[in-house]
């Protein structure tokens, strides 16, 4: 029998910067269950205090290479030991800052990795350590501990800190990882790109595209907003990593993606100048901000177009599929027209849906429309179905600003209902 | 807020206290100790520029504390400032926060003059956004 496993394998602990101080293993497990995840990364295993909490709260799950909560069988959440590291180095006289995700199958392996990495920078200063080493050096050190370990580029397209980033990245995976590219099997697409965007680069065909939240909190509008869906006979570290390594569509079924426009770096722009431009518009301005005359923060869509050798419609038929969703709290906030998904009114509706259907993914993916209508008001049910059917639009994010969900206008209405936030972005027409 | 160089007075004083209390920093260690790690011309020029500016801005003791910080947090030795300018920049940013750009500018000005380069020419060559590490490399490559 195949077991469906929804996995978010890149999150952070409270020891990473800009994270919630309540971010504990137990809280992660609690909210991951509400979200509908079955497997979640621990994040930050390189941090000594977080590794201590991992040892104190988790126990090996029958030698599967995964971990579970000690003495808490009512939360059947499995954990994989994961971390993210930043390498800073010089390549061809250019400064490079690249983030990488690392998986490992046991605490012993994690300790061995930490013993190696602590020579390149402090592991206790940040849950996501900054390492004074090149990307290939990092891969070599991690793989020397065990070839069971897995390492791949994190959020591969964000302008800063990524392998293809417009500001400190590369034009190819091989340039970044050199002779260690042979150990790279996957690439994390990040919020601002999705599989179809990545399929446009034929040189990425051999890599499996994975999706994770990179969440800095346990809130359900962050954790699990992107995830990977597997169907496995046994839920083990080896099965998950092997499905990724071999791009096995029988086991790695699909990824859960937000609309790439929701990501904070989808379009090119300047946050402070309120300028947001599509790739074509940005090129007309030679990527110079029409307000402040400085170089714009190049968005992911433009960067993909720069490197693509295939048209936008290209489909990789050998790759796992994908499904576009939005966090349920964001959908409810949009319907209620409130700025934050954390308001009480949103939580009230959220909790009633989760209480009725079991978890958030079930609400988003499986709950029948008629039943949704019996639990919540019609506009909320209609919005959930619209997201599921892909009939919503998102005003693209840019330069650190999240995209904004736009729901279809009710019948007879003329203008779309722009929700969450009232800041009007400027576009090309405003500058002619 | 009252400042000492780019640091607020409370922060500067707490750095001083940390330094004096620290068992790791030997007060008798002089600049020659760091200089002894240097070899190539570029390494010495960059180190001198960094050292001049830090001493001028935050004083001698806090400067030594910065070097200890760079070594413990980023495994960066003073002899590597020229070859790992991007790591130096990251370290200065982490340590000095919003004061870092000013210190970077001062270091580059010092370095440009020691390399005999006109500042404006170097800045014109710089890619936006402003990149300290590429400026250091530019200065060393174009030294007169
Ligand atoms: Zn601007």
Domains and CATH numbers, chain B: 39-141 (1.10.1200)
Displacement of CA A303 from its chain's centroid (Å)? 18
Give B76's contacts in chain A (Cβ within 8 Å).
132
Specify whether A249 is located in the same domain as A351.
Answer: no
Residue B20 has pLDDT above 60, yes or no: no
pLDDT of residue A150: 98
Average pLDDT estimate for A254-281: 96
* CA–CA min distance A28, chain B (Å): 28
Share of chain A above pLDDT 70, in %: 94
Q: What pLDDT sits at residue B9?
A: 52
Judge whether A281 lies within some domain: no
What whole-number distance in Å separates Cα of residue A90 and Cα of residue B136? 12
Mean pLDDT of B25-34: 35
Q: What pLDDT digit, counting tens, does each position of A287-319 carry?
A: 999 999 999 999 999 999 999 999 998 999 999
Helix (H, G, I), strand (E, B) or coil at A204: helix
pLDDT at site B98: 84
> Which A residues, 91 through 110, put their C-beta within 8 Å of a C-beta on chain B?
93-97
A395 located within any domain: yes
Contacts of B83 in chain A (CB under 8 A): 90
Model confidence pLDDT, tens digit, residues A320-363: 999 999 999 999 999 999 989 999 999 999 999 999 999 999 99
Range B99-112 average pLDDT: 88
Are residues A256 and A172 both part of a single domain?
Answer: yes
Q: Is B71 on the interface with A (CB under 8 A)?
A: no
Average pLDDT, chain B: 72
| d(C-alpha B93, C-alpha B132), whole Å | 11
Same domain, A255 and A352: no
pLDDT of B5:
45
| A288: in domain | no
Does residue A213 sit in the same domain as residue A339?
Answer: no
- Write out chain B residues lying below 8 Å of A167, CB-based: 129
pLDDT-derived band at A72 (thresholds 50, 70, 90) equals: confident
Confidence band of A415 (pLDDT split at 50, 70, 90) = very low
Are A257 and A362 contained in the same domain?
no
Measured between CB atoms, which of B74, B84, B127 is closest to A90? B84
Task: For residue B134, list chain A residues with Cβ-Cβ distance below 8 A.
Answer: 93-95
Quote the pLDDT of residue B69.
96
Q: Categorize the per-residue pLDDT at B40 as very low, low, confident or very high, splitting at 50, 70 and 90.
A: low
Coarse DSSP helix, strand, coil percentages of chain B, rounded to the nearest 5 percent? 70, 5, 25
In this structure, are residues A274 and A431 in contact, taking their beta carbons and an 8 Å threshold? no
Q: Is residue A280 part of a domain?
A: no
Same domain, residue pair A99 and A220:
yes
What number is the average pLDDT over the span A46-70? 96
B73, two tokens = 């947090």
Give mean pLDDT, residues B88-104: 90
Residue-averaged pLDDT of chain A: 92
Residue A223 lies in a domain: yes
CA–centroid distance, residue A297 to ligand 1 (Å): 9
B73 touches chain A (CB under 8 A): yes
Is the Cβ–Cβ distance between A149 and A143 less than 8 Å? yes
If asked whether residues A252 and A334 sit together in one domain, one would say no
User: Tokens for B72?
Assistant: 């413990």
Q: Cα-flanking dihedrals φ and ψ of residue A218, to 5°?
A: -95, 0
Least CB–CB distance from B128: residue in A89, A121, A295: A295
| Domain tally, chain A | 2
Q: Which of A88, A167, A295 sits opposite B86 (nearest CB)?
A: A88
ipTM of the complex: 0.81
- Does residue A253 sit in the same domain as residue A348? no
A12 and A129 inside one domain: yes
Q: Is A374 inside a domain boundary? A: yes
DSSP state of A178: G
| Closest C-alpha to A302, from A165, A182, A132, A423 | A165
3-state secondary structure of A147: coil
Q: Model confidence at A76, in pLDDT bands (50, 70, 90)?
A: confident
How far is the C-alpha of B120 from the C-alpha of B126, rounded, in Å?
10
Mark which of A262, A279, A298 sits at the end of a domain.
A262
* Cβ atoms of residues B34 and B78 within 8 Å: yes
Which pLDDT belongs to residue A422?
31
Whether residues A128 and A215 share a domain: the answer is yes
Contact between B74 and A132 using a beta-carbon 8 Å cutoff: yes
Average the pLDDT over A396-416 and give the result. Answer: 74
> Is residue A300 situated within a structural domain?
no
CATH number of residue A23's parent domain: 3.20.20.140
The residue out of A206, A236, A262 marking a domain boundary is: A262
Q: Is A108 exposed, middle or buried (0-12, 13-18, 19+ CB in 10 A)?
A: exposed
Q: Does A17 touch chain B (CB under 8 A)?
A: no
Distance A276 CA to ligand 1 centre (A): 10
Q: Quick one: A239 exposed, middle or buried, by C-beta within 10 A (0-12, 13-18, 19+)?
A: buried
Confidence of residue B138 (pLDDT cuts 50, 70, 90): confident
Is A346 part of a structural domain of the chain? yes
Q: How far, in Å, CA of B102 to CA of A399, rounded? A: 24
pLDDT digits (tens, 9 = 90+) for A161-181: 999 999 889 999 999 999 999
Q: Does A84 share its domain with A206?
A: yes
Q: How far is B125 from chain A (nearest CA, A)?
A: 14
Q: Is the pLDDT confidence value at B127 over 90?
A: no
Q: Do A136 and A51 lie in a common domain?
A: yes
Where does the pLDDT of residue A37 fall: very low under 50, low under 70, confident under 90, or very high at 90 and above? very high
On whether the CB atoms of residues B78 and B32 are closer than 8 A, the answer is: no
Residue ending a domain, choose from A211, A230, A262? A262
Q: In this predicted structure, what is the pLDDT of residue A194?
A: 96
Cross-chain residue pair B74–A295, CB shorter than 8 Å: no
Give distance in angstroms: CA of A262 to centre of ligand 1: 21
Average pLDDT over residues A378-389: 96
Q: Please indicate whether, in this complex, the C-beta atoms of A95 and B86 are within 8 angstroms of each other.
A: yes
Q: Would you say residue B31 has pLDDT above 70?
A: no
Residue A281 or residue B144, greater confidence: A281
Q: How confident is the model over B53-93, as pLDDT tens digits? A: 999 999 999 999 999 999 999 999 999 998 999 999 999 99
Residue B33 has pLDDT above 60, yes or no: no
Contacts of A95 (CB under 8 A, 6+ apart): A88, A168, B85, B86, B89, B131, B133, B134
pLDDT at B38 (0 to 100): 38
Distance from CA of B1 to the nearest CA of A (A): 25
Q: What is the mean pLDDT of residues A233-245?
A: 97
Distance in angstroms (rounded) separating the CA atoms of residues B137 and A181: 28
How many C-beta neighbours within 10 Å does residue A104 have? Answer: 28
Quick check: A412 pLDDT over 50?
A: no
Q: Collect all residues of chain B within an 8 Å Cβ-Cβ radius of residue A47.
A: none
Range of the domain at A334: 326-418
Measured CA to CA, the distance from residue A182 to residue B55 in angstroms comes to 46
Distance CA(A245)–CA(A210), nearest Å, equals 11
CA distance A115 to A131: 13
């Amino acid at each position: 029998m195949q077991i469906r496993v929804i996995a978010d394998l890149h999150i952070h602990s409270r020891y990473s910067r800009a994270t919630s101080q309540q971010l504990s293993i137990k809280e992660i497990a609690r909210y991951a269950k509400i979200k509908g995840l079955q497997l979640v990364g621990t994040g930050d295993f390189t941090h000594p205090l977080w590794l201590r909490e991992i040892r104190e709260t988790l126990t090996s799950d029958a030698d599967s290479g995964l971990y579970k909560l000690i003495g808490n069988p009512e939360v059947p959440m499995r954990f994989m030991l994961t971390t993210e590291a930043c390498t800073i180095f010089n390549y061809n006289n250019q400064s490079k800052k690249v983030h990488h995700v690392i998986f490992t199958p046991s605490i012993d392996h994690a300790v061995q990795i930490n013993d190696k990495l602590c020579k390149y920078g402090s592991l206790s200063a940040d849950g996501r350590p900054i390492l004074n080493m090149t990307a290939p050096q990092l891969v070599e050190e991690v793989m020397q501990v065990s070839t069971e370990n897995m390492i791949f580029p994190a959020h591969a397209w964000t302008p800063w800190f990524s392998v293809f980033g417009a500001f400190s990245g590369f034009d190819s995976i091989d340039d970044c990882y050199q002779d260690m590219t042979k150990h790279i099997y996957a690439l994390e697409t990040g919020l601002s790109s999705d599989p179809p965007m990545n399929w446009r680069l034929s040189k990425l065909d051999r890599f499996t595209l994975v999706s994770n939240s990179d969440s800095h909190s346990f809130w359900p509008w962050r954790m699990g907003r992107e995830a990977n869906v597997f169907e496995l006979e046994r839920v083990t570290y080896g099965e998950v990593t092997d499905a990724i390594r071999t791009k096995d569509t029988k086991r790695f079924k699909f990824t859960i993606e937000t609309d790439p426009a929701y990501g904070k770096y989808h379009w090119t722009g300047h946050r402070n100048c309120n300028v947001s431009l599509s790739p074509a518009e940005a090129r007309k301005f030679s990527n110079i901000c029409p307000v402040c005359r400085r170089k714009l923060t190049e968005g992911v869509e433009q960067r993909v177009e720069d490197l693509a050798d295939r048209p936008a419609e290209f489909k990789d038929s050998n790759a796992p599929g994908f499904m576009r969703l939005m966090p349920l709290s964001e959908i409810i906030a949009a319907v209620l027209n409130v700025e934050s998904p954390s308001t009480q009114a949103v939580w009230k509706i959220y909790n009633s849906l989760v209480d009725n259907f079991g978890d958030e993914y079930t609400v988003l993916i499986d709950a029948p429309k008629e039943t949704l209508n019996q639990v919540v008001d019609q506009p909320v049910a209609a919005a959930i179905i619209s997201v599921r059917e892909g009939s919503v639009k998102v005003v693209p994010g840019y330069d650190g600003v999240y995209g904004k969900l736009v729901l279809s206008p009710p019948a007879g209405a003329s203008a779309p209902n722009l929700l969450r936030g009232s800041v009007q972005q400027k576009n090309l027409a405003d500058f002619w | 807020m009252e400042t000492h160089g780019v640091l607020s007075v409370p922060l500067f004083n707490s750095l001083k206290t940390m330094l004096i209390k620290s068992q790791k920093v030997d007060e008798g260690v002089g600049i020659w100790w760091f200089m002894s790690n240097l070899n190539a011309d570029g390494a010495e020029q960059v180190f001198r520029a960094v050292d001049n500016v830090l001493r001028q801005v935050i004083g001698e003791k806090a400067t030594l504390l910065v070097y200890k910080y760079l070594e413990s947090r980023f495994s960066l030795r003073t002899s590597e400032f020229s070859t790992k300018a991007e790591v130096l920049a990251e370290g200065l940013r982490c340590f000095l926060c919003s004061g870092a750009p000013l210190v970077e500018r001062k270091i580059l000005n010092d370095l440009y003059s020691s390399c005999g380069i006109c500042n404006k020419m170097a800045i014109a060559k710089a890619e936006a956004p402003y990149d300290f590490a590429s400026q250091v490399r530019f200065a060393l490559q174009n030294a007169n």
